Every structure is written in C-alpha cells, then in structure tokens.
C-alpha cells in the first residue's frame, strides 16, 4: 500500500540524512521525499511517500519517531488528506505542436511560464496521477525535460500537524 507520511523535524544540519539513512539502512522504500522549513524556521516539514505493507509502514513511523530530531509523525493516508505535486516540463513547441501544447496545458490547468521560439516551460500542479496523465496525454517526443517536486501532503479539515 502507498502511504503518505508527514513529519515535523528540527531544522538542523543532518536531520534530512538521518531520515533518509534510516530508510536505506532498514531497506524501506522512498517513492518521494520533500522537505522545507515551516512558518517556524526552527522546524522543517517533510512529506515522504512510501510503499509497504501495514507492518512495514507501522515500523517506518515508529523508527521515524525514534530519531531524536523528529518532533512528530503522522500517516496522512490514514484519513482524508490532500496531496499536491508541482511539475515543470520543458517541451518542444514549434509549428502545429505549438498551439496543441498550449491547448493541452489549458485543459490540465497548467501555466506556460517561459516561452522561446521553439520551447515552452509549463508549470503544472496537482495530484501525482494528474501529472502522470499529462505526460501520457502529450506527444512524448516533444518532451525535452521534466522536473517534479515529489508529493506534499496535508490533512483535511481539523486534522492538523503542529506542535
């Protein structure tokens, strides 16, 4: 099962490698990992997407909690939550492809944020599956490069992760 784990940790040098080390040392899987400081600069928030059985995910949350710099851990996928990911994609946009690409970006509610005579950079936000669909929907030979941030997640409604 795919799980989205959210954690708060001290914004200190080495905290990130402590988390990623734990995953590799214990053979756990990381699909994506994003991290940045929160509104309180002394603390970072991390979203990790991992795939594993319930037992494995339980161990992952326990092992994360055990790390001295980790303040709080929550498995977002246990209840209603929102996931978003940002993708920047550079495509070839010439001739008839230029108009088609603009149309596809509009359909997916993407924005073109850089334009040259022959290329576009499109910014697209959404659930990871939406970004995948966009990549499926356009002509693959036109893709020059892509960069994705990995998933950020937050609980719905009153589910709040803070100290």
- Candidates 5-13, 29-37, 85-93, 117-125 — which segment interacts with other proteins by CB under 8 A? 5-13
Size of the site for other proteins (CB under 8 A): 20
List the structure tokens of 49.
């997407």
Nearer to other proteins by Cβ, of 19 and 124: the residue is 19
- Candidates 17-25, 44-52, 125-133, 146-154 — which segment interacts with other proteins by CB under 8 A? 17-25
Residue 14 touches other proteins, criterion: CB under 8 A: yes
Give SS3 for 120: strand
Give the containing element (helix H, strand E) for 33. Answer: strand 32-37
> Which residue bears the tokens 């929907």?
137
Lay out the site mask for other proteins across 49-68 (x = CB under 8 A, - = otherwise).
------x--xx--xx-xx-x
Residue from 87, 72, 156 nearest 122 by CA: 87
User: Is 38 in contact with 10 (CB distance < 8 Å)?
Assistant: no
User: Is 150 in contact with 47 (CB distance < 8 Å)?
Assistant: yes
Nearer to other proteins by Cβ, of 59 and 149: the residue is 59
Smallest separation (angstroms) from other proteins to the CB of 38: 13
Residue 21 touches other proteins, criterion: CB under 8 A: yes
Smallest separation (angstroms) from other proteins to the CB of 67: 8
The Cβ of residue 60 has, within 10 Å, a number of other Cβ atoms equal to 23
């Amino acid at each position: 099962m795919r799980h989205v784990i959210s954690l708060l940790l001290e914004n200190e040098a080495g905290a990130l490698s402590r988390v990623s080390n734990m995953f590799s040392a214990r053979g756990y899987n990381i699909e994506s990992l994003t991290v940045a400081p929160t509104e309180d600069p002394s603390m970072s928030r991390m979203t990790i997407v991992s795939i594993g059985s319930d037992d494995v995910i339980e161990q992952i949350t326990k092992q994360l909690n055990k790390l001295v710099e980790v303040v709080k851990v929550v498995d977002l996928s246990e209840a209603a939550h929102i996931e978003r990911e940002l993708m920047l994609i550079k495509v070839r946009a010439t001739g008839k492809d230029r108009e088609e690409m603009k149309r596809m970006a509009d359909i997916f509610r993407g924005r073109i944020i850089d334009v040259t005579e022959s290329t576009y950079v499109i910014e697209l936000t959404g659930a990871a599956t939406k970004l995948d669909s966009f990549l499926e929907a356009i002509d693959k030979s036109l893709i020059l490069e892509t960069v994705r941030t990995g998933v950020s997640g937050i609980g719905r409604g009153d589910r709040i992760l803070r100290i």
